[in-house]
Amino acid sequence: MILVTGGAGYIGSHTCVELLQAGQAVTVVDNFCNSQAESLLRVERITGKTLTVIRADIRDRAAMEQALRSSGAQAVIHFAGLKAVGESVENPLAYYDNNVGGTVSLLQAMQACGVKTLVFSSSATVYGDPQRLPLQEDHPLSATNPYGTSKLVIENMLRDLHRSDADWRISILRYFNPVGAHASGLIGEDPQGTPNNLLPYVAQVAVGARTHVNVWGNDYATPDGTGVRDYIHVVDLALGHLKALERLRQHAECRAINLGTGTGYSVLDMLRAFEQASGRPVPYQIAGRRAGDIAACYADPAQAAQLLGWRAERDLQAMCQDAWRWQSGNPQGYRSDTSNA
């Protein structure tokens, strides 16, 4: 049994599908602060299997102990957290409380229940402004905003925990830029309000909900001047979690591993690929740089290949096609009329 915190969210729901399809029993803990219960109904529809859902906040340590005990979980995949960079600058305490405080509470509950296997959602944001590319796991760590600091604090906490008790088995997965959706078109990314991230914004332009994309800067030192990122299909990312769990069965370690493709694409590359996948125009305007953005960021995915036997298999076309299938079938996300979905 695997306990998945934040399992109703974007990456969590895709990981639940892969866990269930691999024959794992799954219990989700989510407070639905950034997700809809509908996503989990759709996970069940895709897989033809059921999962257990507990509505609880990870900051509620007693509820977490109860969830661990009642589920009989042997391991936890911990997605629950807040992730909007701009919001974290506006309201840093909410990020430290939810992300750091929530993780402390979860770890205390795990310790009390003797569950010491954890896969944690970290982010390439812990590399700060890259000093060299591609990013290897031993690149110096830094943070440029409270969201990033919260991930860095948690990473350090996990390393300290493992140093204090070598029975802990911890995989810190540093995601690059997750995009796309399940190939069924039934689950995908469902941002509340204006999307912060590029691909969901582009998808809303293609579907006609927004007029154009603002391209945040075309004067970076990149091939076409726009920002370069390592976009990774969310299903590949989900599969990386299963591989991480597999490795932890054999290794009592605390290790950070990049989950990326190793290839960088620019903003303009992404717009063109999305136009091709959707058959719709994606108008754009060049705007000024977004505060805090970096020019380029992509992974060296060699460690994941070597240690997990994992590599990303879905290309840019699949990322855009799957994102489009989700967006066009569910123009209002999970709040769309689902009767024909």
The closest residue (CB) to ligand WQD is: 227
CB of 238 to ligand WQD, least distance (A): 16
| Residue 186 burial (CB count, 10 A) | 23
Mark residues 207-246: x for contact with ligand NAD by CB under 6 A, - for none: ----------------------------------------
Query: Which CB, 70 or 165, lies closer to ligand NAD?
Result: 70
Among residues 24, 1, 173, 149, the alpha carbon closest in space to that of 88 is found at: 149
The full DSSP string for 220-240 is: SSSTTSS-EE-EEEHHHHHHH
Structure token pair of residue 171 = 């995989």
Query: Which CB, 144 or 328, lies closer to ligand WQD?
Result: 144
Determine, following the binding rule CB under 6 A, whether residue 150 of this chain makes contact with ligand WQD.
no
Query: Which CB, 93 or 166, lies closer to ligand NAD?
Result: 93
Mark residues 169-188: x for contact with ligand WQD by CB under 6 A, - for none: --------x-----------
How far is residue 324 from each of residues 127, 180, 199, 278, 303, measured CA to CA in Å?
Answer: 30, 8, 10, 6, 31
- Contact predicate 336/290, CB 8 Å: no
Q: Which amino acid is at 13?
A: S
Among residues 327, 134, 311, the alpha carbon closest in space to that of 233 is found at: 311
**Active-site hit among 95, 147, 201, 334:** 147
Q: Which of 24, 123, 263, 330 contacts ligand WQD by CB under 6 A?
A: 123
- Contact predicate 184/329, CB 8 Å: no
Which region, judged by CB under 6 A, interacts with ligand NAD, from 74-82, 269-277, 303-311, 321-329?
74-82
Query: Which CB, 79 or 334, lies closer to ligand WQD?
Result: 79
Choose the contact partner of 65 out of ligand NAD, ligand WQD, none; CB within 5 to 8 A by kind.
none
Active site residue 147: yes
CA gap 55, 66 in Å, rounded: 12
Which residues lie near ligand NAD (CB under 6 A)?
5-6, 8-12, 30-35, 57-59, 79-83, 98, 102, 121, 123, 175, 178
